[in-house]
Amino acid sequence: MALQKILTQSYIESVFEEVDRGEGLDRFLQESFPYEEDKLLVTPQVKEPVGLLERMVPTTEGDFLSAIALYDAYKSLKPLQAINAQFWESLALTDLFPYMQKRWNLAEAKDLRKSILNHFTFKAHGMMRHGLAGLWWLVHLSIDEQRDNKYELTEFLFKNYTLRIVRFGVGKVIQHKEAAIGILQYIKDNEASIPSLENVANGLTSYFNKLGAVKQLTFLDRDFFYNEMAKHIEEFKVATSHYENNDEIDE
């Protein structure tokens, strides 16, 4: 199996700088993104998966299947590798460009420049909102090898847009695996008694972010987060959103 190739950082930066200026947008409407072979580098120790593009489903409803396929293809990635913008932005412009183009319906985008920046780059909304990195990381954080169905919480997460996109992906405490599993398990166990998932997502994000300022949450296990959810669920149920700019949650 061949090693994964990625684009040079300088080339990626030049592409998106042009996009930011509104230049070269037509390249994103072509069947494949045009780039020169000498702009490619080999990524050591990361193998190029076979048939990944065919397993990706470029629809909102297909995000769960796409995320599982992407994570399985790159499950050998270490977290330090998986936070590398160059890696994911390269895939978005090369191997998985057809998926990205269709998933975000670039051909019919009202604002093509904004759509490209929002989903192809880390710069707009960070790693967790990137069209590929976010999928990989949400599986990484919710997969639980202790379960018969290790993707049980992953599937639950992907069924809830508010958790996944509006809150779960941007809350820093949720980017701790044990926190993610404990919080997701509590919400799944008590979903029927939660009238507004959006309120609860707002409340838990605010609460745990504040708690993180005085307690080392990364050393705590899933049971701690599950129990904290149980203690504070009533106040979470009436929490309001902190978002003031709707662009922050624009898919």
pTM assigned to the model: 0.90
Q: What is the pLDDT of residue 217?
A: 87
What value does the mean pLDDT take over residues 158-165?
79
The shares of helix, strand and coil residues in the chain, as percent rounded to the nearest 5, are 60, 5, 35
Residue 119 has pLDDT above 90, yes or no: yes
Residue, of 124 and 224, whose pLDDT is higher = 224
Reported as a pLDDT band with limits 50, 70 and 90, residue 127 is confident
Chain segment 91-111, per-residue pLDDT in tens: 999 999 999 999 999 999 999
Query: Within 10 Å of residue 124's Cβ, how many Cβ atoms?
Result: 18
Q: Which two tokens stand for residue 207?
A: 């609460």
Chain segment 185-199, per-residue pLDDT in tens: 999 999 999 988 888
What value does the mean pLDDT take over residues 134-150?
93
Q: What is the pLDDT of residue 202?
A: 85
Residue 246 has pLDDT above 50, yes or no: no
Residue 245 has pLDDT above 90, yes or no: no
Residue 182 has pLDDT above 70, yes or no: yes
Reported as a pLDDT band with limits 50, 70 and 90, residue 239 is confident
Reported as a pLDDT band with limits 50, 70 and 90, residue 116 is very high
Q: What is the pLDDT of residue 174?
A: 62
Residue 248 has pLDDT above 60, yes or no: no
Reported as a pLDDT band with limits 50, 70 and 90, residue 166 is low
Task: Measure the CA–CA gap between 69 and 63, rounded to whole angstroms.
Answer: 10
Residue 135 has pLDDT above 80, yes or no: yes
Q: What is the pLDDT of residue 249?
A: 42
Task: Measure the CA–CA gap between 185 and 142, rounded to whole angstroms.
Answer: 10
| Average confidence score pLDDT of the chain | 90
Task: Measure the CA–CA gap between 97 and 137, rounded to whole angstroms.
Answer: 19
What value does the mean pLDDT take over residues 76-81?
90
Question: Is the Cβ–Cβ distance between 221 and 144 less than 8 Å?
Answer: no
Q: What is the pLDDT of residue 133?
A: 94
What value does the mean pLDDT take over residues 166-189?
79
Burial 191-227 (b: 16+ CB within 10 A, else e): eeebeebbbbbbbbbbbbeeebeeeebeebebeebbe
Reported as a pLDDT band with limits 50, 70 and 90, residue 247 is very low
Reported as a pLDDT band with limits 50, 70 and 90, residue 136 is very high
